[in-house]
Chains A and B, each alone.
Chain A
Amino acid sequence: MAMAIDTPLPAGRTLKLALDKDEAIKRGLMIVIALYLLVALAAPLYVMLSKSFSTYSFDLAKFEFQVSDSAGNWGDPVTAAALNGELNAIPEEKLGTNSDGRLQATSFFPEFSFRSPVKYKIRGTTPDATYLVGLQLHSGTEWQEFDSNAFRRVMLRPSRAIGLENYATYFSTPTLFRSIENSVFIAVISTIVTVGLAFGFAYALNRSCMRFKDAFKLVAMVPILVPSLLPGIALIYLFGNQGLFKDVLMGASIYGPLGIVVGSVFFAFPHAMIIISTALAISDQRHYEAAASLRASRWRTFWTVTIPGARYGLISAAFVVFTLVITDFGLPKVIGGQYNVLAVDIYKQVIGQQNFEMGAVVSVILLIPAIAAFVVDRMVTKKQVALLSARSVPYQPKPNRGFDALCLAWCALIAVFIIGIMVTSQFAALVKLWPYDLSLSLKHFAFDRMDGGGWGSYYNSIRLAALTAIIGTAIIFVGAYMVEKTEGFRSGRSAFQFLAMLPMAVPGMVLGLAYIFFFNDPANPLHAIYGTMTILVVCTITHFYTVGHLTALTALKQIDQEFEPVAASLKQPLYKLFARVTVPVCLPAILDISIYLFVNAMTTVSAVVFLYSKDTALASVAVLNMDDAGDVAPAAAMAMMIFYTNIAARLIHLLLSKVLIARTQAWRAR
């Protein structure tokens, strides 16, 4: 429209220029935030991927020996490779090893005896050949002489190369690759149970006239506020060998798949419930009226109207739960017993055996199911948008005594489960010495006497959560705004969208490990942030980027695209429009993003477990470490502190929302 007037008038040029300037700012900001995502996400993942291809093997051509006879006359130098070619002492496939590999030099001398007068010399044929004498590291091409007794202490060290051997090792080690099966098994079972329970719960909330709906909604949200380790700890108190209800299991052990599944259902439940509830809430009354007028039975209506209407919600919920469970690390660590899963394997490889390469391999493998689930979920969600119609009439449930009672019972059962876990955990935190001294005390809250970082870790967590909430919200919202309101520049925008969606598919463990590889490299100019609070904030924001981004996009889509041209024509700069219109209009969404980031920063374990340092110990990691050291009661106490903090944050959020929304959202009510 403006163009028609513009072309003949020379003054139009300035107007166009002004638009271009705003556009340049938008693109500039978008690129800045895209760069942030590249550095904080794509680059570390790339480094990790290349680490998984970094292999170690003994390169026998790099070592040369010389042997004397008993009179001390030296023979000709011969390489280890040549010796091995003759003897086949070490078969080819045994030459592969890990970074800690050692190979005894005497393996190439079958007639070796430490008592013999024969002397040996060793040297590297290249300067980078390394070997140990005793445990002292040597390298270089200088000959070194040993008597027989000293020579048995010579160990060859492997050299680094690029290759697929780590993957070959992984798939030829049953202990390791069985974890894939275990992880998928746990995730599938947990998904089926969680989605089933959550569907019933959401159905009762949306389609019945039962009482206490608000209370049930509140209770269902509780698991979001606690670390995933908490249900594990509570389950041990309930069903462990000294558990209150141990007999219920009839001899089965809570340690292992059973415990992981029950705990997973607890922490994944709210996520599934929200998604399914949203899907059920948008259902159209007219479909049910049509079904009723066609005299369809309730049962038939359920299968032909309700389920198809909610199917995208169900599928989406299933994939979210699947991803959450398969990537969770805290719960199987606490209650998994000997049942190995992928996320714990990464931790065991890196922390237990310092085998970073294998840790990277497991990480890459853990990425596959998570990405697959994510892709399917995206495809499904895209379709769901098309289902909505402006003319839909919201469904109004009618009272039905028997059905309402049934719904009440179902919800009550789940509420009892959730509250039971919380009460047990609180009880565990207060009992003096379970099960021998049941008197109550606050001694387990004396965190400074335990491993894990003490009360300092708790305050660090609050700092991390607050910083993540404030900085993260700003980055996420600005990024979403720029990508939503930029004209053209399609390829850049879709690249940005991809980067913003990627964190959802990256398990926390994988992200954390990738951060070590990337930021701990002294050649990296960003190396300085390693071990600081900054890296924890960056990691946490990146880890939870996607949900915030989607929330912001949804809110921004509500704002008419006309605002920008109008502001431009009124010669209002971009920042003014942003501050005076966009932010106030989107305030509810902004507050939601910040509380989401806060709560998750308080509870997250997986990503930060590799990254915290002494000064930045975190409460959630302290829960893990205290449990790991066997201090289960203090672990429960710390988990409850996180819970109470999150409740407080929620309340503040609620209050803030009320005040701010009353002041900024008056336009919504006409």
Chain B
Amino acid sequence: MNQKKNFALAAVTTMLMSSAAWAETELTVYTAIEAEDLKRYAETFNQDHPDIKLNFIRDSTGVITAKLLAEKDNPQADVIWGLAATSLLVLKAEGMLEPYAPKGVDLLKPEYVDKDTPPAWVGMDGWAASICYNTVEGQKLGLTAPQSWKDLTKPEYKGHVVMPNPASSGTGYLDVSSWIQLFGEKEGWTYMDGLHQNIATYTHSGSKPCKMAAAGETVIGISFEFRAAKSKAEGAPIDIIIPEEGIGWDMEASALVAGTAKEEAAKTLIDWSVSKKANEMYNVGWAIVAMPGVAKPVPHLPANIEEKMIKNDFEWAANNRNTILAEWAKRYDSKSEPKS
């Protein structure tokens, strides 16, 4: 009996030892990177760092941000890799990010790095607002393709425009905040008043308007270029339009979570996430990446995206989010309900 026990104990010890011998560090990584890209990202990272195992908690931007905030007093994540910069700003304002300047951060475009030194977050790739225009449905209805944001308020598009709700979608807020930055406070709201007349529905997610346009469920979907290129590649009859006034944009970024017990490995990941290899990896799907000179054009996307991107004031957008959303809801959320 006793011998059996000893044997079992020995077996358990060996098991423990052998797993320790692999010397693996496990990192809990919170991310909003698309499901289909995530595996590739992890594999590419492990080519260089086989000793660090990444355990991903993946969800949409809103859910992951809510989760991180809910865990504010007891963070579960070691690293955030691939979350909207606007979300990271919320976390930064809660003191949840550990400032860290990764090796090679100075090689990135300056607007892709947090302004504080050391930076609280570093950018990976950017995505920008764009319009998906269904050419088949447009032709059926005898519409002409819009060229600018202002075009979207033309009466001919009444009921044919879909955009994400800024209160529930980061892309939606990106649109609204960029319009206010582009047109000015008063002019911006006047523009949205006009646009609202044409909106068929406000969706919860930022990619849905483009997918709806791709399926002909609407003619014009206000979405972002990354999604638009994918839908077009799948064979949807859409044109990707970059409005001439300029487009709002956001980036995916990574950050160290304050209080992580695995700082060493976490820093390794952040260092790697700004490397050239990582940037090349992002470029497979993303037209715009943080490191200059890396990006090759992505099929179906207009080449001028980057020059059309506005000078986005992220700090202003984060600090005024509450006020803008309240105003937006007051103007459009209640009005847009069908009267029963």
Q: Which residue of B lies closest to A450 (CB)?
A: B35
State in angstroms the CA–CA spacing of A363 and B169 once bound together: 21
Q: Would B216 and A241 count as touching, CB distance under 8 A?
A: yes
Contact bitstring A210-250, B, C-beta under 8 A = 1, else 0:
00000000000000000000000000100011100000000
What's the minimum C-beta distance from B296 to chain A, rounded to whole angstroms? 23
Q: Would B165 and A352 count as touching, CB distance under 8 A?
A: yes
Count of chain A to chain B residue pairs whose CB atoms are closer than 8 Å in the complex = 160
Residues of A within 8 A of B90 (CB): 100, 354
Q: Which residue of B lies closest to A625 (CB)?
A: B60
Tell me if A298 counts as interface (CB < 8 A to partner B).
no
Q: Would A630 and B35 count as touching, CB distance under 8 A?
A: no
A window 169-227: CB within 8 A of B: 173-175, 178, 181-182, 185
- Number of residues of chain A lying within 8 A (CB) of chain B: 66
Tell me if A491 counts as interface (CB < 8 A to partner B).
no
Tell me if A454 counts as interface (CB < 8 A to partner B).
yes
Tell me if B63 counts as interface (CB < 8 A to partner A).
yes
B window 305-340: CB within 8 A of A: 315, 318-319, 321-322, 325, 329-330, 333-334, 336-338, 340
What's the minimum C-beta distance from A558 to chain B, rounded to whole angstroms? 46
Contact bitstring B59-99, A, C-beta under 8 A = 1, else 0:
11011011001110110100000000000011011110000
Q: Would A340 and B340 count as touching, CB distance under 8 A?
A: no
What's the minimum C-beta distance from B312 to chain A, rounded to whole angstroms? 14
Given contacts A175-B330, A454-B35, A338 and B73 within 8 Å (CB-CB): no
A window 126-147: CB within 8 A of B: 132, 134-137
Q: Would B211 and A175 count as touching, CB distance under 8 A?
A: no
State in angstroms the CA–CA spacing of A630 and B120 once bound together: 33
Q: Would B336 and A338 count as touching, CB distance under 8 A?
A: yes
Residues of A within 8 A of B216 (CB): 241-242, 435-436
Tell me if B208 counts as interface (CB < 8 A to partner A).
yes
Range, interface on chain B: 35 or more
Q: Would A175 and B334 count as touching, CB distance under 8 A?
A: yes
Given contacts A434-B215, A436-B235, A520-B71, A135 and B315 within 8 Å (CB-CB): yes
Residues of B within 8 A of A599 (CB): none
Q: Would B205 and A628 count as touching, CB distance under 8 A?
A: yes
Q: Would B236 and A137 count as touching, CB distance under 8 A?
A: no
What's the minimum C-beta distance from B81 to chain A, rounded to whole angstroms? 13
State in angstroms the CA–CA spacing of A625 and B62 once bound together: 12
Given contacts A134-B116, A174-B334, A433-B236, A351 and B168 within 8 Å (CB-CB): yes
Residue of A253, A437, A451 with highest tally of chain B CB at under 10 A: A451
Q: Which residue of A lies closest to B160 (CB)?
A: A241
State in angstroms the CA–CA spacing of A433 and B230 once bound together: 13
Given contacts A173-B329, A236-B217, A337-B201, A628 and B71 within 8 Å (CB-CB): no
Q: Would B93 and A628 count as touching, CB distance under 8 A?
A: no
State in angstroms the CA–CA spacing of A593 and B216 once bound together: 44
State in angstroms the CA–CA spacing of A153 and B314 once bound together: 13
Residues of A within 8 A of B203 (CB): 630
Residues of A within 8 A of B318 (CB): 135
Q: Which residue of B lies closest to A613 (CB)?
A: B57
Residues of A within 8 A of B321 (CB): 100
Q: Which residue of A lies closest to B71 (CB)?
A: A520
Q: Would B334 and A102 count as touching, CB distance under 8 A?
A: no
State in angstroms the CA–CA spacing of A241 and B204 once bound together: 18
What's the minimum C-beta distance from B27 to chain A, rounded to whole angstroms? 14
Q: Which residue of A lies closest to B202 (CB)?
A: A338
Q: Which residue of A lies closest to B321 (CB)?
A: A100
Q: Would B322 and A98 count as touching, CB distance under 8 A?
A: yes
Contact of B59 among A101, A132, A240, A614 (CB under 8 A): A614
Q: Would B35 and A522 count as touching, CB distance under 8 A?
A: no
What's the minimum C-beta distance from B181 to chain A, rounded to whole angstroms? 17
Residue of B205, B212, B217 with highest tally of chain A CB at under 10 A: B217
Residues of B within 8 A of A182 (CB): 337, 340
Tell me if A286 counts as interface (CB < 8 A to partner B).
no
Q: Would A436 and B237 count as touching, CB distance under 8 A?
A: yes
Tell me if B207 counts as interface (CB < 8 A to partner A).
yes
Tell me if B226 counts as interface (CB < 8 A to partner A).
no
Q: Would B92 and A175 count as touching, CB distance under 8 A?
A: no
Q: Would A353 and B35 count as touching, CB distance under 8 A?
A: no
Residues of B within 8 A of A253 (CB): 338
Residues of B within 8 A of A175 (CB): 329-330, 333-334
Given contacts A185-B340, A352-B167, A628-B208, A135 and B93 within 8 Å (CB-CB): yes
Q: Would A614 and B57 count as touching, CB distance under 8 A?
A: yes
Tell me if A516 counts as interface (CB < 8 A to partner B).
yes
Q: Would A436 and B62 count as touching, CB distance under 8 A?
A: no
Tell me if B156 counts as interface (CB < 8 A to partner A).
no
State in angstroms the CA–CA spacing of A185 and B34 once bound together: 38
Residues of B within 8 A of A531 (CB): 57, 76
Residues of B within 8 A of A119 (CB): none
Contact bitstring B123-154, A, C-beta under 8 A = 1, else 0:
00000000000001000000000000000000
Contact of A631 among B93, B116, B202, B211 (CB under 8 A): B211
Q: Would A242 and B62 count as touching, CB distance under 8 A?
A: no
Residues of B within 8 A of A451 (CB): 34-35, 60
Residues of A within 8 A of B48 (CB): none
A window 76-126: CB within 8 A of B: 97-98, 100-102, 104
Tell me if B282 counts as interface (CB < 8 A to partner A).
no
22 contacts between A and B (CB under 8 A): A97-B322, A100-B321, A175-B333, A178-B334, A182-B337, A240-B217, A241-B216, A241-B218, A242-B215, A338-B202, A338-B338, A351-B60, A352-B204, A354-B90, A356-B70, A433-B215, A433-B234, A450-B35, A450-B36, A451-B35, A630-B208, A630-B212
Pick the 5 closest A-B CB pairs, nearest first: A630-B211, A352-B168, A522-B74, A137-B95, A630-B208
- Spell out A's residues near B (CB within 8 Å): 97-98, 100-102, 104, 132, 134-137, 153, 155, 157, 173-175, 178, 181-182, 185, 236, 240-242, 253, 255-257, 333, 337-340, 348, 350-354, 356, 433-437, 448-454, 516, 520, 522, 527, 531, 613-614, 625, 628-632
Supplied contacts A174-B330, A257-B340, 16 more A-B pairs, CB within 8 Å: A97-B322, A102-B319, A132-B319, A134-B115, A178-B334, A236-B217, A241-B216, A340-B333, A352-B168, A433-B236, A435-B215, A453-B35, A613-B57, A614-B56, A628-B60, A630-B214
